[in-house]
Amino acid sequence: MPVNFEIINGVATITIDRPEARNSIDREAAIAIDAAIKQIESDSAIRVGIITGAGGNFCAGMDLKAFLRGETVRLPDSGFAGVTQAKRTKPLIAAVEGYALAGGFEIALACDMVVASEEAQFGLTEAKRGLVANAGGLVRLPRQLPIKIATQLVLVGDLHPASLLATHGLINVVTPKGGALDGALELARKIAANGPLAVAVGRQVLNESLEWPADELFDRQNAITAAVFASEDAKEGARAFAEKRAPVWRGV
Active site residues: 106, 126
Closest CA to 23 of 50, 49, 4: 4
Closest CA to 33 of 4, 54, 55, 58: 4
Q: Is the dihedral of CA 146, 129, 134, 42 positive or negative?
A: negative
Residue 140: CB partners within 8 Å, gap ≥ 6?
Answer: 106, 109, 110
Closest CA to 25 of 138, 104, 122: 104
Q: Cα angle vertex 59, ends 98, 159, to 5°? A: 55
Please tell me the distance from the alpha carbon of residue 19 to that of residue 54, in angstroms, as a whole number.
6
